[in-house]
Amino acid sequence: MEFNDQLAMAPVEFAANLHARYSKIHVVVVDTSNGKGQDAVVTTANIDPIKIKRLYEKVQNIKHGEGQADSDAADIKENRLGIGDYRNMTPSEVLLKYGEDAIKQLENLITIFKKNADKYPINTVKIEEIKAAIEAYRKGELKQGKPKTMPAPTTLFFERKINPNEKRKNGSGEYPVTTLQIDYNPRMRYCWTVLMENGWGEIDSRPNGGIFIKKGSYKEEKETKVVVENEAFREIVRQINDYIFQKEILFMSQLQKQLADYEEKKRQEWANK
């Protein structure tokens, strides 16, 4: 995944906007899951810089890993096991209901959870919960565990739009459509999923202005999907946010000079009337 500069400064008449209407960050996603070179699938999308900045803010507000292992002696909370015969129960619920007969199966689950602990951080938490529950059971100190409510996967960004540029229209009279979706899954170490589609669709318009994709006309041409580790994704978004900020400082500097010249020109035109 890469971000490319297609930023453009606003004309002096619209200096307060900083960015021109067509100022974009060009996002490219390359999916090599089916091979590299000619076998790789490449998709692109142009995103408004302000939307990239909003994405950065949303990513900053997510504290990955927090709340996954919160428990205390007064109100023990455990994760449901999620697999096996006891998938809908917590370790404590299993031991309180089935007793000694369940210990062997719980210990087998520890082995399974260890295999994927690097990919699924929650597995490490579940292993510790199973061990703690077994120890408490053998000491006769086991309390009823309340199931935790794990944060659900969420979509932080979604945009599907059609490009009305007549030069980009295909032989069927359809226009290019791009889709970009970014999901966050707190249960995974590679917790960021970037999905992108390129396709075609027909344009429809609203009575009060504006265009949108005509219902039922969208046809997907190709799709890419990449999963990114937490810190790596945060670094990418931070870098592009910082880049946009620096580019906006440059725009502001240039526009201030142009604005001064523009105002002087208008003043002279007014004085000569």
Residue 208: pLDDT above 60?
yes
CA distance 149 to 162: 39
Instruction: Give pLDDT, residue 70.
Output: 39
Residue 207 pLDDT more than 70?
yes
Confidence of residue 49 (pLDDT cuts 50, 70, 90): very high
Is residue 67 scored above 50 in pLDDT? no
Given phi > 0 = left and psi -120 to 50 = alpha, else beta, which region is 173? left
The answer on pLDDT for 196 being more than 90 is: yes
Cα 20 from chain centroid?
Answer: 26
Residues with Cβ within 8 Å of residue 77, at least 6 apart in sequence = 70, 71, 145, 146, 147, 148
What burial class does residue 246 get, using C-beta atoms within 10 Å of its C-beta: 0-12 exposed, 13-18 middle, 19+ buried?
exposed
Residue 64 backbone dihedrals phi, psi, to 5 degrees: -65, 130
Please provide the average confidence, as pLDDT, over all residues in the chain.
89
At residue 209 the predicted structure's pLDDT band, cuts being 50, 70 and 90, is confident
C-alpha–C-alpha distance, residues 128 and 148, integer Å: 14
Model pTM greater than 0.85?
no
Band of residue 189 on the pLDDT scale cut at 50, 70, 90: confident
pLDDT at 41 over 50: yes
Residue 69's pLDDT is 38
138: its two tokens: 């053998």
Q: Higher confidence at residue 212 or residue 67?
A: 212
| Residue pair 198/177 in contact by the 8 Å Cβ criterion | yes
Helices and strands (DSSP H and E) totals, the chain: 5, 11
Higher pLDDT, 44 or 66: 44
pLDDT of 73 strictly over 60: no
pLDDT confidence bin for 186, thresholds 50/70/90: confident
Closest alpha carbon to 213 in 200, 198, 197, 202: 202
Evaluate if residue 95 carries a pLDDT over 80.
Answer: yes
Report percent pLDDT > 90 for the chain.
62
Residue 151: pLDDT band with limits 50, 70, 90:
low
